[in-house]
A and B are shown apart, each in its own frame.
Chain A
């Protein structure tokens, strides 16, 4: 029985850049091995200069590997065929300012070979999915950063790729825009898409990723599922209503009698970003409710 093909397979990847005319090399990625299974949301983390963007560019065929083998769904990444099933949202995307959002998505759809018969419906569908229907006929030059990210996601999804690569999708975007982007990523996962994401916002990565890899100076430092890496399997937290001091002592005694110890008693705290999102108004959610993605959203389970 043949093994399932990974969405991304990286074996022994090394990338050197010449930084002087005398041939001095800078090693951006050093003997990297990674496997991203189909259907996962995979986080690629690391400080600036750790090799994340270089790795992504090699996966997309924009750079050639110095050494190593990189495959996308089994196809060598430097072949045009490998990009047939890939959607890419670059960091701080800049698009043709003179096109409207709809024209832009339509342009990329045609480049990707979306059939003419379904072109209009597909463009409208994906624009609605990212919540930009109301602004689709505005020129991209007038878009906010959050809207640029969303139209960027629309162009990445328009040909219904199996793998979506998001390079810093929340960079420069306010917490509302970031939260909406995270919701879109979760929706992509629900549709069975594979998502490779880099971000400096580690809390967001933790919320949406199945597995993460941490790079530093081009080397893989840590790799594993989020639960494995940050979960404390030898401990448990119980959230209860406030206990009077006497009851707390009784509980401590009860646990001690059974060979357990109460290690700490803390006041649970909401995360600041959650508080922020619950207080500010969001497009389509006045007063900070919960629900869809944007002012023109379609239901969360809508398939692009």
Chain B
């Protein structure tokens, strides 16, 4: 008996993403972390007397990016795991996957929903940081006009690029947590493993730097493979280049973005493959 096939649908994927987004923004955790991050960024102006030798404006920017990275990472891991396991534990996944829906649509829908949530978080945090910097720079331009003879010093476009790259990095982290969740049995295991992988991804450049110094061929090969398996999150951190020389290079930013998208595609594909075989 011939039956019309059910093609992969971006419409269904969007529905899952929209529902995931709605569920996330109604969670207390999202609102709590968002408030904390926004509060921390906003409080940077009160710490400007303790700027540890950095220029005041750079201190506000570093403080803001620090809050973005810390709370963004926590939010990404916790939200992804929570939203995935709420579907499994509450058995809403049973109802959903009993519909004519591909599991790839479910996994990528979850990914896009979380990615959108993190996007809102990043936009609000970066937006507030830029507003603060703009406001303070304006004040300093009045107080010390000689320092701003050539206009504003801060490259706000670079701030946006770095913010976008951090968002993309959180996208890679979302895909990693989804991959873990696709075979994990508990939310806790997923969250703990997600944090371990986050640390590895932030520190893996150390292994990458060392493989040429390792004499043992087998060990060197293993280190090299591991450094490819885990994405290098330090690549996304271009905040230090803001205000240095020509600022953030557009070419470098594009290459880093391509690197992130490639990892999202590969890890997301692995998550779909793993989830396809999962018994609900």
Interface residues of A (CB under 8 A from B): 5, 57, 60-64, 73-75, 80-84, 86, 88, 90, 92-96, 98, 107-108, 110-113, 152, 155, 165
Is A108 touching B98 in the complex (CB atoms < 8 A)? no
Partner of A62, one of B4, B16, B26, B279: B279
- B149 interface hit (Cβ, 8 Å): no
Taking the closest CB of chain A, its distance from the CB of B263, in whole angstroms, is 28
Query: In the bound complex, how far is the Cα of B158 from the Cα of A147, in angstroms?
Result: 54
- Quick check: which of B47-55, B73-81, B88-96 contacts chain A, the rest being far away? B88-96
Taking the closest CB of chain B, its distance from the CB of A286, in whole angstroms, is 34
Is B99 touching A112 in the complex (CB atoms < 8 A)? yes
Is A95 touching B23 in the complex (CB atoms < 8 A)? no
- B19 interface hit (Cβ, 8 Å): yes
Is B6 touching A84 in the complex (CB atoms < 8 A)? yes
Query: In the bound complex, how far is the Cα of B194 from the Cα of A283, in angstroms?
Result: 50
Complex interface: chain A residues within 8 A of B102 (CB)? 80
A5's nearest neighbour on chain B, judged by CB, is: B1
Partner of A111, one of B3, B12, B23: B12
- B5 interface hit (Cβ, 8 Å): yes
A108's nearest neighbour on chain B, judged by CB, is: B99
Contact sample, A vs B, 27 pairs, CB 8 Å cutoff: A5-B1, A57-B94, A61-B97, A61-B98, A62-B279, A63-B280, A64-B279, A73-B3, A74-B1, A80-B6, A80-B100, A80-B101, A81-B3, A81-B100, A84-B6, A84-B100, A88-B95, A88-B99, A93-B95, A95-B95, A96-B23, A96-B92, A108-B95, A110-B15, A111-B99, A111-B100, A112-B99
Complex interface: chain B residues within 8 A of A61 (CB)? 97-98
Q: Report the contact-size class of chain B (Cβ under 8 Å from the partner).
A: 20 to 34
B91's nearest neighbour on chain A, judged by CB, is: A94
B1's nearest neighbour on chain A, judged by CB, is: A74
Taking the closest CB of chain B, its distance from the CB of A79, in whole angstroms, is 8
- B206 interface hit (Cβ, 8 Å): no
Taking the closest CB of chain A, its distance from the CB of B184, in whole angstroms, is 15
Is A75 touching B1 in the complex (CB atoms < 8 A)? yes
- B22 interface hit (Cβ, 8 Å): yes
Complex interface: chain A residues within 8 A of B99 (CB)? 83, 88, 108, 111-112
Is A62 touching B96 in the complex (CB atoms < 8 A)? no
Is A90 touching B23 in the complex (CB atoms < 8 A)? no
| Count of CB-CB pairs between chains A and B under 8 Å | 86
* B94-121 residues at the A interface, CB under 8 angstroms: 94-102
Complex interface: chain B residues within 8 A of A165 (CB)? 98
Taking the closest CB of chain A, its distance from the CB of B280, in whole angstroms, is 4
Taking the closest CB of chain B, its distance from the CB of A69, in whole angstroms, is 14
The 0/1 profile, CB within 8 Å of A marked 1, for residues 211-234 of chain B is 000000000000000000000000
Taking the closest CB of chain B, its distance from the CB of A47, in whole angstroms, is 22
Query: In the bound complex, how far is the Cα of B98 from the Cα of A82, in angstroms?
Result: 10
Taking the closest CB of chain A, its distance from the CB of B87, in whole angstroms, is 9
Complex interface: chain B residues within 8 A of A98 (CB)? 22-23, 26
Is B19 touching A62 in the complex (CB atoms < 8 A)? no
Between B5, B15, B19, the greatest number of chain A beta carbons within 10 A of the residue's beta carbon is seen for B19
B109's nearest neighbour on chain A, judged by CB, is: A111
Is B92 touching A62 in the complex (CB atoms < 8 A)? no
With A94-B91, A96-B23 given, can you name 5 additional A-B contacts, CB distance below 8 Å? Answer: A57-B280, A82-B3, A94-B92, A96-B19, A108-B99
B280's nearest neighbour on chain A, judged by CB, is: A62
Known contacts A73-B1, A94-B92, A96-B19; is-contact A62 B97 (Cβ 8 Å): yes
Complex interface: chain B residues within 8 A of A94 (CB)? 90-92
Is A93 touching B3 in the complex (CB atoms < 8 A)? no
Is B15 touching A107 in the complex (CB atoms < 8 A)? yes
Complex interface: chain B residues within 8 A of A155 (CB)? 95
Is B15 touching A63 in the complex (CB atoms < 8 A)? no
Is B98 touching A60 in the complex (CB atoms < 8 A)? yes
Is A111 touching B15 in the complex (CB atoms < 8 A)? yes
Known contacts A63-B279, A110-B15, A111-B101; is-contact A81 B4 (Cβ 8 Å): yes
Query: In the bound complex, how far is the Cα of B4 from the Cα of A84, in angstroms?
Result: 9
Is A84 touching B3 in the complex (CB atoms < 8 A)? yes
A64's nearest neighbour on chain B, judged by CB, is: B279
Complex interface: chain B residues within 8 A of A75 (CB)? 1, 3
Query: In the bound complex, how far is the Cα of B25 from the Cα of A98, in angstroms?
Result: 11
A15's nearest neighbour on chain B, judged by CB, is: B279
Is A107 touching B1 in the complex (CB atoms < 8 A)? no
Taking the closest CB of chain B, its distance from the CB of A77, in whole angstroms, is 11
Complex interface: chain B residues within 8 A of A60 (CB)? 97-98
Complex interface: chain B residues within 8 A of A93 (CB)? 91, 95
A84's nearest neighbour on chain B, judged by CB, is: B100
Query: In the bound complex, how far is the Cα of B22 from the Cα of A63, in angstroms?
Result: 29
A75's nearest neighbour on chain B, judged by CB, is: B3
